[in-house]
Amino acid sequence: MPEAVETLVTEDMHRQKGVWGEARSSYPISESDIRKWAIGVYWPETPPRLYWDEEYAKGTRFGGIVAPEDFNPFAWAVPKGEFRAAGALPGQTPAKGQNILNGGQVDTYGVRMRPGDVITARSRLSHWEERVGRNGLTLYVFNETEWRNQKGELVKTRISTGIRS
Partner 1 sequence: MTTYFEQVNVGDEVPVFERKTDFMSWNRYAAINEEFVYVHMDDAAGKAAGQGAAFGMGNLRWAYILNALRGWVGEEGEVKELGMQFRAINHKDDILTTYAKVVDKNPEGNLVRLEVDVRNQKGEKTSPGHAVVSLPSRG
Residues in the site for partner 1, rule: CB under 8 A? 36-37, 39-43, 48, 50, 60-62, 68-70, 72, 75-76, 85-94, 99, 101-109, 135, 161
Look up residue 90 and give its DSSP letter.
T
State the minimum distance, in angstroms, from the CB of residue 14 to partner 1.
26
Nearer to partner 1, 85 or 132 (CB): 85
Nearer to partner 1, 124 or 158 (CB): 158
State the minimum distance, in angstroms, from the CB of residue 11 to partner 1.
26
Backbone angles phi, psi at 13, to 5 degrees: -65, -40
Look up residue 51 and give its DSSP letter.
G
State the minimum distance, in angstroms, from the CB of residue 34 to partner 1.
10
Nearer to partner 1, 14 or 88 (CB): 88
State the minimum distance, in angstroms, from the CB of residue 91 to partner 1.
5
State the minimum distance, in angstroms, from the CB of residue 97 to partner 1.
13
Give the integer Cα–Cα distance in Å for 35 and 65. 9
Distances (CA, A) of 136 to 25, 26, 97: 38, 38, 10
Give the integer Cα–Cα distance in Å for 59 and 12. 51
Q: Exposure pattern of 59-79 as b/e (b: 16+ CB <10 Å)? A: eeeeebbbbbeebebeeeeee
Nearer to partner 1, 20 or 42 (CB): 42
Nearer to partner 1, 11 or 55 (CB): 55
